[in-house]
């Protein structure tokens, strides 16, 4: 039984954790979920650290939704650096799944984008833990999460 | 009895620590407060480290008010990175509560914003320590501190 | 027998690992390859850490292809900082080989650039491990990877 | 007898260390000064580390004067991150006192600003070590170093 | 006999290590040189780490020449952060000597600037190790490396 962590925020406007949970369930089994909800993305590194230390998860999904302001980009950058620091200090991967509000122009688009990206990162999480060769087979494949894949270059 | 730290600055133009203290008292009990005041936001990481090490607090509120200049944004960024470093090194959360002077156009607005944001982060602090499920129930809820909540998306 | 790691991504649109593998084979022998494929460049630091810790490689090539958006530059910056952190914590070099999609205007150009840069960094990797003096002899030589060399200044 | 460190540079155009030393003497006693002079601000973190480790100081003033170019801002940012890293690793505060050449329009202004800021940070240093409650009493007071204080908001 | 490290790159277009070596010889004696050449500036932190750990040098000169592109500035920033990290982790100074190609408009100017800056930083290195008071005597002196000194302010 592998242990997977999910860290999310009350700042986000979509329940990305629910989408990730469903996608994990549809992808495979053999895991148990642990969760921490914090106010904002800058609190995610601490939440991931707790999931690794207190719940002994092997991988964490960090779900967040930075706002539209310039300052939100700085916050996302700081959060990313913190997530990386935790992943390296704990020697465990964190899959960061951020959706910027500015990536969508309507609430409907935002909801779909956040849901799909969370689903596809959840699938990546499952593959990293249970089927790493599935990723190697798609190396250089131009995969994207939340949007259509770019695909490999067509040099022809 | 849980121990909560508050770090604040002489640079700020509002006594955010007083607002946080009142909000904590209104939210619940079962804690004791410890405080360090330093000159500016870049001194907050050291102050938080002292609160964790010397006062053995379990969580710290870091209250600051960056000025209006471009350079103040850089200072806030540096302070944020330092706060994150301390939180991760100590294995304890720091709730950063910064109010940029440029977020308000009058002294009156600035005072209200700083007070409300400090109050709402104080409430978050109490929930993180005493009632973490209260946060999980509001995941994806589009909560904001100091301003009106954005709320969850309405995909309809 | 030296151990060399290759970390790459499913986000990239070119199979840079294949190009690096061929170039290593053409440059010399005496090594064995180990590989990790992850979703995106921000996952490369964790992958490199695993290669150092689990496969005991002595050097890792980190291959990635950031997209065209402004945000992709931030991601590349964060990935670079993480790669450096891993290299220093493990006391082993990581040769970062990133190709920005925006460096090329057609798929054909992108494919060639990615292939050549991966090849030339693979050659650097081999030299660092087996023939470090070859690099010292070319110090100040204005070498470039993927594009034509700038060459040394001609002060005449 | 407390030990205070002063780190400064040959790049600066004003002898800020002399100003800090005079201000410390005027503020109080009970301390001894230790000093390291390095070429530029990016060398200050190493100098502070030496002061903490070799001279066992309890706090260091880091005095620097970044130039007018865009690049100098980047250097100041890097220096700040390094100073923070040292302060946290040593568990001791560093008061950063930087004066940007671009903050003043004449040599005369620059000299006054650098002198006053160094003096006021020296006073902060003394208070942090000997009279921390003096800072707490002025929390939220809108204090500035080198320029006139902004003062607390007047919400009336 | 003190040990000094020199780390340089094949990316640079001038042999700055040769200039540094000559300047050290002209400044004084009592030292022995150790060298590592790597592909680019982002590889310098690893090279410096090796010089400290494998050659037990007491100080390292890190010589590099970032290119003209916007991205090269980001690389220089990342390299600087890495150099600082190594210096602090090893508890030894690294004198960073970077010359941006964009600082000069002709090959001739670039060659002169790179040579002079390397020479003057080599002199600083020697002073830091053998004659630290020489630096303290010039604190606040407005010294520059590679260009004419700015000199101290003339408040008159």
Q: Would you say residue B156 has pLDDT above 70?
A: no
Q: Quick one: pLDDT band at residue D154, thresholds 50, 70, 90?
A: confident
Q: Residue E29 belongs to what domain range?
A: 2-136
Nearest to E87 among D9, D46, D67 (CB): D46
Q: Would you say residue E141 has pLDDT above 70?
A: yes
Tell me which chains share at least 3 CB pairs under 8 Å with chain A: B, C
CB pairs under 8 A between C and E: 97
Q: To 5 degrees, how large is the angle CA A30–CA A32–CA A38?
A: 150
Quick one: tokens of D103? Answer: 């903050």
Q: Is residue B148 part of a domain?
A: no
Q: Is residue C155 part of a domain?
A: no
Kind of pairing between the strands at A31-38 and A94-98:
unpaired
Distance from CA of D78 to the nearest CA of E (A): 6
Distance CA C116, CA D152 (A): 60
Q: What are the strands of the beta sheet with D31-38, ordered from one edge?
A: D31-38, D2-9, D59-64, D94-98
Quick one: tokens of B36? Answer: 């360090």
pLDDT at C156: 59
Quick one: tokens of B122? Answer: 């104080």
Nearest to A111 among B100, B136, B153 (CB): B153
pLDDT per residue over D53-108, tens digit each? Answer: 999 999 999 999 999 999 999 999 999 999 999 999 999 999 999 999 999 999 99
DSSP for residue C1: -
pLDDT at A25: 96
Distance CA D38, CA E139 (A): 8
Average pLDDT value over all residues in chain B: 96
Q: Is residue B155 part of a domain?
A: no
pLDDT per residue over E50-103, tens digit each? Answer: 999 999 999 999 999 999 999 999 999 999 999 999 999 999 999 999 999 999
Distance CA E73, CA E69 (A): 7
Q: Show the beta-strand stretches assigned E in C13-86.
A: 31-38, 59-64
pLDDT at B154: 82
Q: For chain C, what is the domain count?
A: 1
pLDDT at D72: 96
Q: Is residue D154 part of a domain?
A: no
pLDDT at E118: 98
pLDDT per residue over D7-60, tens digit each? Answer: 999 999 999 999 999 999 999 999 999 999 999 999 999 999 999 999 999 999
Quickly tell me which residue has 């700085």 as its tokens: A74
Q: Is residue C144 part of a domain?
A: no
- Could you tell me if E40 and C142 are in contact, meaning their C-beta atoms sit under 8 angstroms apart? no
- Could you tell me if E43 and E86 are in contact, meaning their C-beta atoms sit under 8 angstroms apart? no
Report, as ranges of residue numbers, the positions in chain C whose pLDDT lies below 50. none
Report the chain D residue with the minimal C-alpha distance to residue B65.
Answer: D140
Q: Would you say residue D156 has pLDDT above 80?
A: no
* Chain D residues within an 8 Å CB radius of B9: 139-140
The pTM of this model reads 0.96
CATH number of domain containing C117 = 3.40.50.960
pLDDT at E155: 64
Nearest to D84 among B11, B16, B45 (CB): B45
Q: Would you say residue A156 has pLDDT above 90?
A: no
Nearest to B94 by CA among A46, C42, C111, A152: A46
Q: Is residue B55 part of a domain?
A: yes
Q: Is residue E126 part of a domain?
A: yes
- Check contact A-C (3+ Cβ pairs < 8 Å): yes
Nearest to E64 by CA among E127, E14, E133: E14
The mean pLDDT of B6-27, rounded to a whole number, is: 97
Inspect the interface and report whether the beta carbons of C110 and A153 lie closer than 8 Å.
yes
Q: Is residue A71 part of a domain?
A: yes
Q: Would you say residue B155 has pLDDT above 70?
A: no
* pLDDT over 70, % of chain E: 99
Q: Quick one: pLDDT band at residue A154, thresholds 50, 70, 90?
A: confident
Tell me which chains share at least 3 CB pairs under 8 Å with chain D: B, E
Inspect the interface and report whether the beta carbons of A87 and C46 lie closer than 8 Å.
yes
Average pLDDT value over all residues in chain E: 96
Q: Would you say residue D155 has pLDDT above 80?
A: no
């Amino acid at each position: 039984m592998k242990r997977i962590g999910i860290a999310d925020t009350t700042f986000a406007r979509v329940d990305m954790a629910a989408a990730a949970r469903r996608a994990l369930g549809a992808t495979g089994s053999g895991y148990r979920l642990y969760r921490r909800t914090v106010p904002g993305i800058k609190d995610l590194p601490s939440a991931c650290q707790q999931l690794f230390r207190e719940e002994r998860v092997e991988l964490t999904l960090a779900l967040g939704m930075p706002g539209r302001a310039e300052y939100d980009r700085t916050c996302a950058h700081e959060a990313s650096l913190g997530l990386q620091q935790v992943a390296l200090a704990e020697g465990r991967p964190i899959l960061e799944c951020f959706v910027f509000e500015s990536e969508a122009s309507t609430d409907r688009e935002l909801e779909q984008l956040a849901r799909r990206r969370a689903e596809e990162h959840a699938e990546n999480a499952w593959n990293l833990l249970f089927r790493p060769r599935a990723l190697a087979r798609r190396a250089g494949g131009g995969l994207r999460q939340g949007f259509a894949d770019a695909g490999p270059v067509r040099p022809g």
